[in-house]
């Protein structure tokens, strides 16, 4: 079985460096454009990493999911929450397609129940969080796609401790964003939590899917182990 190319390893290392280091971005008085590039580079590099490892349609779907996530990261800063959410929602829809193409052949009752509960729980919590009630229906609409993505990840054949957990971390990150417009508006740690959960979730999803596809595809190679928004 072939091993990841040196280029793929370098891209992955740069992605992790960019994503983790962005946690300290607010400590630097950088121009706005530089901060936006820094923010978008982590998941953009994950998209490039997924593309370099893609051998099948599923691999390319993953690359599209990561690319839409990076687009959302940038649009949140340049065009606002609604436009950024559209890009993320598109990514969730592609991710749902990827996960449903890779459904588990059988589920335990508890696994099925959790997947079912993820959707209403996420949508209800997201709807209740923002102080501006005018925006709550739109948040609930977006959260439906987010929750369906997480539920589809949970019932997919991809490892739950990487892809399933990564999808739930993405959910938690977005719920913190909505809470920042409500009960957690003045909590300074929220921005740190949003980015940490988001990037770690995307990283887990990317490596979990790549690793699973690599084990299925004899022409691909195993993914590196998973290392344990602002």
| pLDDT, tens digit (0-9, with 9 covering 90-100), for 168-227 | 999 999 999 999 989 898 888 899 999 999 999 999 999 999 999 998 765 444 444 444
pLDDT of 28: 85
pLDDT of 2: 44
* Mean of pLDDT values over 34-59: 97
Give the tens place of pLDDT for each residue, 120-170.
999 999 999 999 999 999 999 999 999 999 999 999 999 999 999 999 999
pLDDT of 228: 37
Structure-token pair, residue 191: 């921005």
pLDDT of 187: 86
Note the helical H segments in the chain: 6-21, 32-53, 57-78, 81-101, 109-128, 136-154, 165-180, 190-216
Instruction: Tell me the C-alpha distance between 158 and 226, whole Å.
Output: 14
Is residue 114 within 8 Å of 167, Cβ to Cβ? no
Read off the pTM. Answer: 0.90
pLDDT of 217: 62
* Mean of pLDDT values over 42-61: 97
Confidence of residue 110 (pLDDT cuts 50, 70, 90): confident
Confidence of residue 229 (pLDDT cuts 50, 70, 90): low
């Amino acid at each position: 079985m072939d091993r990841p190319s040196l280029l793929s390893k370098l891209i992955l290392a740069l992605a992790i460096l960019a994503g983790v280091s962005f946690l300290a971005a607010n400590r630097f008085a950088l121009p706005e454009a530089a901060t936006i590039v820094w923010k978008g580079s982590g998941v953009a590099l994950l998209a490039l990493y997924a593309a370099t490892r893609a051998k099948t349609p599923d691999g390319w779907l993953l690359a599209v999911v990561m690319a839409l996530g990076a687009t959302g990261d940038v649009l949140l800063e340049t065009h606002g929450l609604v436009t950024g959410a559209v890009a993320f929602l598109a990514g969730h829809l592609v991710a749902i397609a990827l996960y449903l193409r890779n459904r588990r052949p059988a589920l335990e009752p508890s696994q099925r129940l959790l997947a079912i509960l993820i959707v209403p729980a996420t949508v209800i919590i997201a709807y209740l969080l923002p102080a501006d009630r005018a925006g709550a229906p739109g948040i609930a609409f977006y959260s439906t796609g987010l929750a369906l993505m997480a539920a589809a990840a949970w019932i997919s054949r991809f490892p739950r401790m990487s892809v399933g957990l990564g999808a739930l971390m993405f959910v938690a990150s977005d719920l913190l964003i909505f809470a920042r417009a409500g009960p957690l508006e003045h909590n300074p740690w929220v921005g740190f939590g949003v980015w940490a959960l988001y990037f770690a979730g995307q990283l887990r999803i990317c490596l979990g899917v790549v690793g699973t596809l690599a084990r299925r595809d004899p022409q691909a190679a195993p993914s590196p182990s998973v290392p344990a928004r602002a």
